[in-house]
Chains A and B, each alone.
Chain A
Amino acid sequence: MPRLMSGIDVGLLLWRAQFRMFINQTLRSRKPGRIVGTIVGAAIIVLAWAWEALITGVAVAAAHRFHAQIEVAHLLSLAFLGYTAVLVFSSLVFSLNALLLNPDLDLLLAAPRPVASILAGRMVLQVLRLFLLSLLFTAPALVVLAFANHNPLIPIVFSALYLLYPVFVVVIISLMSLLLVRFIPAGRGREILTLFGVALAVGINVLNFLLNPALRDSGFARRSLPLSLPDIPGASAPWLPSGWAGRSAAAALGGDWLTAIGWAFVLLAVSAVIFTVGTALSGRLYLAGWIQAVPPRRRKVAARGRRLRGAIPLLSPVLASIVIKDWRMRTRDLAQLVRFAMPVVFLFVIFGLRFPRLLSSVQGLGAGPAAAMLGLVPAWVLLFSLSLSLGLSAVSLEGQSIWVYAASPNTTLRFLEGKCWSAVLPTGVFVALVALVGESLIRPGWIWAATAVLLVVAQAASVTTLMVGIGAVFARFDWTDARRMMHPAGVFIGMALFAIITGASALLLAISLALAGATHFPLITTWLAAVTISVGGGVAVAALGLLVGNDHLRGLELG
């Protein structure tokens, strides 16, 4: 019990420290940009809350009018089960960072408190964060429901469930992380956990695709089928925490406060037991971990690695060295590799599993530029993901090692040039491959296919270059966690510009088809003109982005 109380105490201490850091970095930062950003962020949250309250009010009014037959307990159980997937993911990342990346763990462990209480404190912190996040997203809806149903119990029960429900997931995932980190070779913990995360993400997506009735049809035929909600019948089972939480929440909504408190109490009791056992186990696991005493494994140089030491044709040694170094960083560090591999994996999940139906739908269009454009859709999806993940992060990838480059006798423009190559080459190659496969399967005619592939490759180069420029403007060099490499504003601007450029390009191509029909110009002439203008515009925007990025980088003191 003392360990448990000490753990809660440490958790609250950490929470206070994080809250202070948040205030210091925002409202007390004395930086006008950050203060304005915080105020704007708060205003957006208030607006979103108002919108959520409005929608909830409309939904409640509609429900009163139509008396829809819905199994509320099952629906809410399903929602809690879905929330479990989010909890697993976020807890995994949090535990991993807490154990391997955050530099304060040694500081905390040096404090005169039991190891178990420090680790329990981390779990408490994570539960508190999830609790507040849940409230952030649903508080207005809960308040509106309380007023609409004249039932003040609703926000109270839901808040209790938000606090209790994450406990078992956070504890189990923390124990698993501890097992992995303390009992596997040093330096591999992060990679294995990342791999585990990737497998989990892919698994969840594939299962969702295979089991979710809403996704079973081909997509093209969806409109003809009735809408169906994803369902997992076991979600409301009385032996699952999602079932307890769902029943408690449903009872609270129905005004049956005895049942609501009863199921919440079951959740509380089980959470308390799991937290107590988890705290004791975590301390023992941490102390029993033996791997830190083992020296890192010696590395054997593969023959392939030797070949990479050479230059890249047509690139100067400086540019080639940046490209090779970035390639090594991205492929050796799994946190980076995920950025690279996930878009390809998701492309496979999205398109690969529905491939036969999609292909038969598109092949019906016959030859011509319209079919060629449809064949580019997978390449565009991949381009979107890769240009954002590789382009926007290219400059920030240097992190605190930026001094190596800043101290070298090269201009920032040269550095950016190298970064462009390091992002454009893999993006261009993968996008070209996917476009080639798409066009060769659809067979829209070789001239249309060739120009379509050329167009998407040129777009890959220009859009990725633009992203490198945006990434330079919003560069972050102080990250220790790869998730913080990219600035949210940079991502937002990058996505908006990608949409504008590809949208304008698609519009130009559509106009070229319409123009050929209206004026009887040869279709190939208008098509090629549209492709040329589209490529030219993309290149001009990319060059501009690069110059702005260079100008910004030159103004920084990269020491």
Chain B
Amino acid sequence: MLSTRLLTKRYGSLTAVEDLDLEISAGELFGFLGPNGAGKTTTIKMLVGLLRPTSGTAQVAGIDIMAEPEKAKARIGYVPDAATLYDKLSGREFLEFSGDLYHVEPRLRDRRIGALLKLFDLEQRGNDFLSGYSRGMRQKVSLAAALLHDPQVLFLDEPTVGLDPQSARQMKDILQDFCKEGKTVFFSTHILEIAERMCTRLAIINHGRLVAIGSLQDLRHMVGQDGQSLEQIFLELTGSREEDVSAVLRGLES
């Protein structure tokens, strides 16, 4: 469903993502982890066609995102980390606009909008302007817009930021149901507990390079210690800085 081959993005002398090879099957809920500035957002933006790779290829639902971007995008849903929405449109109007952009037939679009607003508990606020929505509600509208055209692959960049525990749980259920239909979710997150609970497979990226990929069990084998939490594995693979932090904090006290 999703594959990349030697995917690389450079900004001048800075390499944001280097030689990324991924192979993700249909029905997978794939977690993409990494510290700040590791290249997660850049990777997602390349996979949804917002950034052009410097080299390498990426295929989504069997379509080369570079060669046929419009065809590939029709099969992709995307929720950015801090979604900037049109503040002066209502939630419903934004979804209508989004549906039209993705060529959803109007009657089907309206039916789906009704269902999605209900699903995300936004029925009562659907006609209010987005400027009055909380961050969590905006996140829900973004996800609803991403689901509206029934994509085969859903990309989410830090989707749980700003969500209350109920909404985070609701999102988790929705994503799992989405995968049960044979569709794929690719999401980046900092919250390792969520990734540990939800994902069928995980990848860890650091300084633009893939350092590990596999199920949680695979990752445990990789670091050679069964029973470790994802947090411990993550810190081990990306380099723990606990001692450095303590030294700096001691320095501040003096």
Q: List residues of A whose CB falls within 8 A of some B CB.
A: 187, 295-301, 309, 311, 317-318, 320-321, 324-325, 328-329, 332-333, 399-401, 403-411, 557-559
Q: Which of B71-79, B164-172, B231-239 contacts A (4 or more CB under 8 A)?
A: B71-79
Is the Cβ of A317 less than 8 Å from the Cβ of B106?
Answer: yes
**Are A296 and B93 interface neighbours, CB within 8 A?**
no
Contacts of B85 in A (CB 8 A): 401, 404
CB neighbours of A559 from chain B (8 A): 45, 50-51
Residues of B within 8 A of A400 (CB): 84
- Indicate whether B88 reaches chain A with its CB closer than 8 angstroms: yes
CB distance from B204 to the nearest CB of A (A): 23
Identify the stretch in B126-134, B181-189, B246-254 within 8 Å (CB) of chain A at 4 or more residues: B126-134
Interchain residue pairs with CB less than 8 A apart (5): A297-B132, A301-B127, A318-B100, A324-B97, A409-B69
CB of B215 within 8 Å of the partner chain: no
Within 8 A of A (CB), among B67-115: 69-74, 76, 78, 80, 83-90, 93, 96-98, 100-103, 106
- Tell me the minimal C-beta distance from B172 to chain A in angstroms: 23
Contacts of A297 on B, CB cut-off 8 Å? Answer: 132
Which residue on B lies nearest to A397, using beta carbons?
B86
Contacts of B88 in A (CB 8 A): 328-329, 332-333
Do A407 and B89 touch (CB < 8 A)? no
Q: A296-B131, A329-B89 are in contact. Are A403 and B84 (CB under 8 A)?
A: yes
Given known A-B contacts A317-B103, A401-B84, A410 and B70 have beta carbons under 8 A apart: yes
Tell me if A311 and B102 are in contact (CB < 8 A): no
Question: Quick one: which of A295, A298, A301, A557 contacts B51, CB cutoff 8 A?
Answer: A557
Q: Please tell me if B49 contacts chain A, counting CB pairs below 8 Å.
A: yes
Contact B96 A309 (CB under 8 A): yes
Residues in chain A near residue B58, CB distance under 8 A: none
Nearest 8 Cβ contacts at the A-B interface: A559-B50, A321-B100, A296-B132, A400-B84, A409-B74, A409-B73, A332-B88, A408-B101
Cβ contact within 8 Å between A328 and B93? yes
The answer to whether B52 has its CB under 8 Å from any CB of chain A is yes
- Is A407 touching B78 in the complex (CB atoms < 8 A)? yes
> How far does the Cβ of B63 sit from chain A's closest Cβ, in whole Å?
11
| Additional A-B contacts beyond A298-B128, A301-B127 (13; CB < 8 A) | A296-B128, A300-B127, A301-B90, A317-B100, A317-B103, A318-B103, A325-B86, A329-B86, A332-B88, A404-B145, A411-B70, A559-B50, A559-B51
Contact with A along B120-139 (1 / 0, CB 8 A): 00000001110110000000
Asked whether B48 is an interface residue with its Cβ less than 8 Å from the other chain, the reply is yes
Partner of B102, one of A296, A300, A403, A409: A409
B131 touching A187, Cβ below 8 Å: yes
Query: Do A408 and B51 contact each other (CB < 8 Å), given the known contacts A296-B128, A299-B128, A559-B45?
Result: no
CB contact list, B31-54 vs A, under 8 A: 45, 48-52
Contact partner, A407, options B48, B87, B90, B132, Cβ 8 Å:
B48
Cross-chain contact A318 with B96 (CB below 8 angstroms)? no
B118 to chain A, nearest CB (A): 17
Which residue in chain B gives the minimum CB-CB distance to A311? B106
Asked whether B101 lies within 8 Å of A321 as measured between CB atoms, the reply is yes
Number of B residues contacting the other chain (C-beta, 8 Å)? 38
Given known contacts A309-B96, A399-B84, A403-B80, A409 and B71 CB-to-CB distance under 8 angstroms: yes
Cα A317 to Cα B97 in complex, Å, equals: 9
- Asked if B89 and A408 make an inter-chain contact with CB atoms under 8 angstroms apart, the answer reads no
Chain A hits for B96, CB < 8 A:
309, 321
In the complex, what distance in Å separates the CA atom of A275 from the CA atom of B127?
44
- CA A311 to CA B105, docked complex, whole Å: 11
Q: Which residue among B76, B100, B102 has the maximum number of chain A CB atoms within 10 Å of its CB?
A: B100
Residue of B nearest to A332 (CB): B88
Bound complex: CA A317 to CA B102 (Å) = 10
**Contact partners of A324 in chain B: CB under 8 A:** 97
Across-interface contacts of B97 in A (CB, < 8 A): 321, 324-325, 404
CB distance from B236 to the nearest CB of A (A): 32
Q: Closest CB of chain A to B113's CB: distance in Å?
A: 11
A307 → chain B, closest Cβ, in Å? 13
**Cα of A317 to Cα of B50 in the assembled complex, Å:** 23
Complex contact A557–B90 (CB within 8 A): no
Kindly identify which residue among A325, A333, A403, A409 contacts B103, using a CB–CB cutoff of 8 Å. A409
Known A-B contacts A325-B97, A328-B88; the reply to A406 vs B50 at CB < 8 A is yes
For A402, give the chain B residue with the smallest CB separation.
Answer: B84
* C-alpha gap A332/B130 in the complex (Å): 12
Contact B102 A408 (CB under 8 A): yes
A140 to chain B, nearest CB (A): 42
B89 touches A325 (CB 8 A): yes
Chain A residues near B71 (CB-CB < 8 A): 409
- How far is the CB of B147 from the nearest CB of chain A, in Å? 13
- The CA of A406 and the CA of B102, in the complex, are separated in Å by 11
A-chain residues with CB within 8 Å of residue B129 when the two chains form the complex? 187, 296, 299, 332
What's the least CB distance linking B128 to chain A, in Å?
A: 5
| Cα A296 to Cα B127 with chains together (Å) | 13
Bound CA–CA A295/B134 (angstroms): 11
Bound-complex Cα distance A407 to B103 (A) = 13
Q: Are B50 and A407 in contact (CB under 8 A)?
A: yes
Measured between beta carbons, the chain A residues less than 8 angstroms from B131 are 187, 296
Q: Are B49 and A407 interface neighbours, CB within 8 A?
A: yes
B45 contact set on A, CB distance < 8 A = 559
Contact A408 B86 (CB under 8 A): no
Q: Smallest Cβ distance from A141 to chain B, in angstroms? A: 45
A298 / chain B contacts, CB cutoff of 8 Å: 128
List chain A residues, Cβ under 8 A from B49. 406-407
In Å, the complex CA distance between A410 and B74 comes to: 9
Q: Which residues of A contact B74 (CB under 8 A)?
A: 409
Q: In the assembly, what is the distance between CA of A301 and CA of B93, in Å?
A: 11
Q: Are A187 and B132 in contact (CB under 8 A)?
A: yes
Contact of B70 (CB < 8 Å), options: A309, A317, A409: A409
Q: How far is the CA of A229 from the CA of B78 in the complex (A)?
A: 62
State A336–B9 Cα separation when bound (angstroms).
37
- Give the one of A299, A317, A324, A333 with max B CB within 10 A: A317
Closest to B96 in A: A309
Rounded to whole angstroms, the CA-CA distance of A188 and B103 in the bound complex is 34
- Chain B nearest CB, measured from A124 CB (Å): 31
Contact (Cβ within 8 A) B100 A407: no
Q: Which of B168-215 contact A (CB under 8 A)?
A: none
With CB as the reference atom, state the residue of chain B lying closest to A187.
B131
**CA of A155 to CA of B49 in the docked complex: distance in angstroms?**
58
Q: What CA separation (Å) do A411 and B103 show in the bound complex?
A: 13
Please give the distance in Å from A416's CB to the nearest CB on chain B. 14
- In the assembled complex, the CB of A301 is this many whole angstroms from the nearest CB of chain B, namely 5
> Which of chain B's residues have a CB closer than 8 A to the CB of A311?
106
A405 to B49, CA, bound (A): 11
Shortest distance between the CB of A411 and any CB in chain B (Å): 6
Q: Which of A328, A401, A403, A409 contacts B50 (CB 8 A)?
A: A403
* B93 partner residues in chain A, CB cutoff 8 A: 325, 328
Residues of B contacting A405 with CB < 8 Å? 101
B73 touches A407 (CB 8 A): yes
Residue of B nearest to A408 (CB): B101
Q: Which residues of B contact A410 (CB under 8 A)?
A: 70, 101
